[in-house]
Structure formats: structure tokens, C-alpha cells
Structure 1
Amino acid sequence: MSLEGKRILISRTDSIGDVLLTLPICSWLKEKHLKSSILFLGNTYTSPIVDLYSFVDSFVNWDDFSSLSKKEKLKKWKELDIDIIIHVFPNKKIAQLAKKAKTKIRIGTSHRLYHFWTCNKRVSFTRKKSDLHESQLNHELLRPLGLKEIPSLNAIIKTTKFFSIPKVSLPNGLSTLTDLTVLHPKSKGSALEWPIDSYFELAGVLAKQGRIIVFTGTKSEGEMFKKEIPKHKNIIDATGLLSLSQLVLLISKAKNFVACSTGPLHIAGYLGINTIGIYSSKRPIHPGRWGAIGSSVNNLVGDVDSSMKREDSVGLEGVSVKKVLEKIV
């Protein structure tokens, strides 16, 4: 199938990590079909991330559709002049809109009932029990467009080089830092988290070695632990101070980044810095499925009981501070 000159929309309206593990399919499409136009449908929060990937020609903000009437949504969609939509993250409203707008090729998983009347190309594959990485599984949806073989993880890692550093400035006190280690303790409840006391212990050891430590997170996340951060001249609390673009810039200046399975960990992986991810061994949230992709990623795994909930951290206590220190460069 020739895709030259076609306008292809990748639909992924969820979180940062999910988006970053989807961007490699844009690379495959663009490298195979240079003259195609790749559009990415996401939300306001993830737009700064998508804008940094060179193989995306245009970002479409799903949030811009939210306040529109049905008639206005249809008109706005038709103005995009989409030839092909790939529903990487299934969304019933988006699927119905693409069908109503008569988008020519509509690709989605066969594991969503509503795709049987909204998609005309359905791919049958399962994510839950697969041994493939999430970034590889996303490529399954390219089979109707000519993909014959799922790329290796090493091949996918090479596509992270097309991610750039934003042209923004950091707040005073952070702009001149070098050789720093960034610790990002929270995950907005999306993952099992390493105990906060372990982050504090790690920070204390590194600070005594003369290293600069920066804690990051949203304002609400910071309020959960900032009063407990060890007091030391080399430990800086940057929670609530940074926009997403500024966070990307700060991470790019770091020598090490430590976090659980969360969006900023995937940013660090893309940027090629020493990325230390702390994961559960539990399927399907283990690093074999959700590990960050990048040239310098180290995953440490703790044993987690099958009854553990995502907000529990006790299962990751098996990852000692000593183990993390062994991965610090």
C-alpha cells in the first residue's frame, strides 16, 4: 500500500509514558513513507512531548474538541483531511467521530466491540499476556499498512534519537546546575512506588559524596513529601517549580535519573542519560512490558505479591539503596 502524500493520524490521548512508547511507530511510518504527513492526536498535557519528536508533522489537541457541538466536532475533524487513523489508545468517541467523518482507513484492535462498526481494519493481538514490550505491541497496528515483522527492541531504541531538547529556560538556581542526579519519587498513582524513605536515604548518601540532588514532581506530589526531604546544601527541592518542557530540559542536564514506572522516567530514557527504573516483577507491569526505552536504561526489579495494589510500595522494598547506588554513574 502506497502511503505517499497520505495524512495519517496516530490517536493516543492518555499519559506521557504511553505517548513516548507510541512515538516509534511515527518513525516507522515516516522512514517507510517519507512524503506522508504524520499527525498525532493527544491532549494538552502531552503536547510539549509530542512537539519534540521530529517525525510528527502536526499535533492535534483532543481537548479542543471537548466544548464543541457534535456538528462542530464533525466539521473540525473533516478540516483535518485525515486519510488514515490508527487508534493506538482506543477511545469510543474518537472512533465514532472518525467513522462519521468517513475517514477512509480506520485501524484499531479487534478487542474492542465498538471497533467492529467504527473501524474497517481490525488487528487481532493481545497485550495482557504478550512477552513483547509495549512499544513493540503498538507496532502491531501497522500491519494493515504493510508492516511484516515487529521491530526488535534495539531497533526501537534507535528511534529515540529523534527526540529533541526544548528551547526553554530553567528557574534561577537550576539553570547553572551540572552533574546532577534527579529523583522523581511519585507517579500520580500510575505505578508501584519505591518507598519515599529510600529516596531520602539515597539523596543523603549522594549529597555526602558531593553530588547535586534535585527532587522533582508536581506541586501536589511535592506537598506529600517535601517537608521530609533531608536538609543539605546539595539537595534541592524543585517540586512544583517546573513546566513539562522545563522538566525535560532539567533531565537532559542530569547525569542520573531515578524513578518508578512513570512518564518522566521514559523522558530520561529518550534523552540517553543514565536512567534507573525501579519496577515490580508483577505482570503486566514489569519492565519487560513497560520499561523505559533508551541507550542507557537500567531496570531494578522488586518482588511484589499478586495482591498488591498500585499504590502500595512495600513490594519494592527489595530494591535496596545499595543496589541503586551501584547503578549511579
Structure 2
Amino acid sequence: MAVKNDFKRILVVRTDRIGDVVLTTPVLKALRDNYPKSHIAMMVAPQAAELVEGNPYSDEVIVYDKNKGHKGFLGFWKFVLGLKKKKFDLAIVLHTKRKTNIITFLADIPRRIGYCDTKFGFLLTDKIKDTRSLGLKHEVEYCLDILRHMGMKVKDAAPYVALNKDALAWARNFLQEAGIKKEDRLACIHPGASCVSKRWLKERFIVLANKLVEEYGLKVILVADGTDMVIADEIAKNTRYPVINAAGKTSLSQLAALLKHCSIFISNDSGPVHIASSVGTPVISLFGRNQAGLSPVRWGPVGKRDKYVHREVGCSVCLAHNCKIGFDCLKAITVEDVLKAVDDILKA
């Protein structure tokens, strides 16, 4: 299908988790390359807005807040009518949900393209067969495939998060107050994740932190938010060496700026993995589950120096928090496995 040159106002829709939104950012650049004079906007949930603000390939960030400002029937219609007034002529729906398909339909956006599934996919004008659950390629490529389906050329698949001046200044001040010198090398550890089935053992993070200090001379920073702050606090209390505990102290833009200062980032499968990768910090991501569509093939970090660690334990279907075998996939990952990946990155 040839590219049509009459799209003047383009809306990119991705209202799910922060890591997923980061993996969508190559779409913005590809759209800008193909439509340099068009108005390009991105519709996101409130928690992800910081990650696309300041993106040079986007003109506008539209926040859809289903839990507060746009909650309920009246809030929903307020948002739809506001979106309708913006007169978009193309909507690229990258994460198909009932509400996003309904919203773009009711907003009278004439072209609506995305993966067609059972979540009101029939409302799309351009329906692409949804094979993402097979996990045959990375999520970035699944997103870009929608543009390719329209005949657009894609030159760059690298995720991008802009670093703003205030966040960079905050990170410098934070590290200075923590006693970090210019010559110090930093390792950042993120022990949290959205599900217990993604969280590596806390005790092994403690051993890992000690090894990073003893064997590599690194200064260790911990980051986490929400309920995972408790895990970070326990790691900080039980390491043999002082660590910088930044858990609960950063916004997403500040986290991105802090990660930019780090020599390496070690994390469970989670959103911060993709933030780190997008600012050029080498990543080691720890993966338990390997089910098609959930595996590192689709969700692993994408930087040139990034690595993931996974050990197969024979599961074909992941039961997540209902695991019947005690999360053997996570237990199978040893500290030595992670240190080998650290070696591969820092000694390359």
C-alpha cells in the first residue's frame, strides 16, 4: 500500500504501561520522517506522559486519565468531544483496548489503523491480523509493522526518551549530595516489577550488590517505587557496603536522568529497563517467564550492548502469580549468571 501524503494531523494511541510507551517512541520518529510537516500527537495515560514530553518528533501529548479527570460517562464524553475538536485524520492504535477503539471511532477520526482483536477491533478502518501473542518479534517491530503496512519507510527502530534540563540538574545535585565524584562508576539496581513472577530473589540482589562493589569497584544505586520500595529498603539495609537508595525519590524524568549517569543498569523485566536503554545506558534484564508473547524475544531490552538473563525450566505456559512450581525460572538465575553478563558489558 502506498503512503498517502494527505495526513495533516496524526494521533498515536498507547495508553498502557511506561515501558510499552517507551517501546512505541520509534513510531514517532518514523512518522516524522514520512510526514515532516504534519501535526503528530501521542495519547497516553498520566503515568507515561513525562516519557514523551519533549520528544522532538511529537508536537503534542494528550493525556487520557480514565481514573480521574475522564472517569465515568461524563468524563469519557468530555475527552471524546475534546479529541473530536482536534480534527485528527489518522489514528494509529498501538495497544488495542475497547476504550481506545471506541474513543477514536467516536472522535470521528476517518482512518483508524491497528491490530484487530476481540476488543472492538471491528471499529478500526484498517485491520491488521493480530499475531503478537505468538511473540515472533520484538514489540518495537510489531509497532513499526503498522506503519510498514501503510507503506511507510522505517529507518530507525531505537526507542528515545528526551532528557529535560530540570531533571538533569536534579540528578547532578542528587549524586553530588550522595558523595558521588566524577570519576566514580555507577551501577543501578531495580529490584521491583509489576508481578511477583517477574521479581528475582531479594537475597540474590543483596549478594549481587556486594559483588559489584568488591569485584568492579562500582557505586550502587537502588531505584524502585510503590510497594517495591520495601524491597529496595531491605537490600540497602543488608548489603555490606553503603548504597545510595533512591527508591521513591524520583519522577520518571528524574529516573531517566539518573540512569544516564550509570555505567550499567540491572533490573527485573519492567518499564525502567526500556527507559535505561533509551538513554543509552547498558542494561541487564532478568527474565523468568519465556512463554510466547511474554518472553524476552518480544519484551527484552533493545540496546546494542543490552543483555537479558533467562534460564529455561520447562514451562510452556506461565501462570504468573499463580505459579505452581515456586517460580523456579527465577530461582534458576544465579548471581554468577548476572555477573557473567556484567563482565560481557563492562569488559567488552
User: Is TM > 0.5 for Structure 1 vs Structure 2?
Assistant: yes
CA contact (8 A) 1:191 1:262 kept: no
Is 1:80 equivalent to 2:94 in the alignment? no
Structure with greater helix percent = 2
CA contact (8 A) 2:11 2:40 kept: yes
How far did residue 269 of structure 1 move? 1.1
Helix, strand or coil at the partner of 1:54: coil
Query: 1:95, 1:86 → 2: CA distance?
Result: 10
Query: 1:191, 1:141 → 2: CA distance?
Result: 31
**Alignment of structure 1 residues 3-152 onto 2, 5 Å:** 3=5, 6-63=8-65, 64-66=69-71, 68-69=74-75, 71-112=77-118, 114-116=120-122, 118-147=123-152
Helix, strand or coil at the partner of 1:302: coil
- Where does structure 2 lack aligned partners over 5 or more consecutive residues? none
How far did residue 121 of structure 1 move? 1.3
- Structure 2 partner of 1:327: 341
Q: Which amino acid aligns with 1:30?
A: R
- Structure 2 partner of 1:299: 308
How far did residue 289 of structure 1 move? 1.0
- Structure 2 partner of 1:310: 320
- Where does structure 1 lack aligned partners over 5 or more consecutive residues? none
Query: 1:84, 1:23 → 2: CA distance?
Result: 17
- Structure 2 partner of 1:240: 248
Query: 2:211, 2:112 → 1: CA distance?
Result: 53
Query: 1:113, 1:321 → 2: CA distance?
Result: 41
How far did residue 203 of structure 1 move? 0.3
CA contact (8 A) 1:272 1:295 kept: no
Determine which of 250, 259, 264 is the counterpart of 1:251.
Answer: 259
- Structure 2 partner of 1:165: 163
How far did residue 85 of structure 1 move? 0.7
> Relative to structure 1, is the Cα distance of residues 70 and 314 closer, same or farther in structure 2, using a 3 angstrom cutoff?
closer
Helix, strand or coil at the partner of 1:107: strand
| TM-score (norm: length of structure 2) | 0.84
Query: 1:233, 1:130 → 2: CA distance?
Result: 41
Helix, strand or coil at the partner of 2:134: coil
Q: Which amino acid aligns with 1:96?
A: I
Q: Which amino acid aligns with 1:290?
A: W
- Structure 1 partner of 2:268: 260
Determine which of 270, 279, 283 is the counterpart of 1:275.
Answer: 283
> Relative to structure 1, is the Cα distance of residues 290 and 272 closer, same or farther in structure 2, using a 3 angstrom cutoff?
same
> Relative to structure 1, is the Cα distance of residues 43 and 70 closer, same or farther in structure 2, using a 3 angstrom cutoff?
closer
Determine which of 205, 214, 223 is the counterpart of 1:216.
Answer: 223
CA contact (8 A) 1:207 1:235 kept: no
> Relative to structure 1, is the Cα distance of residues 70 and 283 closer, same or farther in structure 2, using a 3 angstrom cutoff?
closer
> Relative to structure 1, is the Cα distance of residues 119 and 324 closer, same or farther in structure 2, using a 3 angstrom cutoff?
same
Query: 1:213, 1:285 → 2: CA distance?
Result: 29
Query: 1:56, 1:293 → 2: CA distance?
Result: 22
| TM-score (norm: length of structure 1) | 0.88
Q: Which amino acid aligns with 1:179?
A: R
Helix, strand or coil at the partner of 2:10: strand
Helix, strand or coil at the partner of 2:283: strand
Q: How many residues are treated as equivalent by the alignment?
A: 321
How far did residue 120 of structure 1 move? 1.4
> Relative to structure 1, is the Cα distance of residues 25 and 171 closer, same or farther in structure 2, using a 3 angstrom cutoff?
closer
Helix, strand or coil at the partner of 2:309: strand
> Relative to structure 1, is the Cα distance of residues 147 and 322 closer, same or farther in structure 2, using a 3 angstrom cutoff?
same
Helix, strand or coil at the partner of 2:32: helix
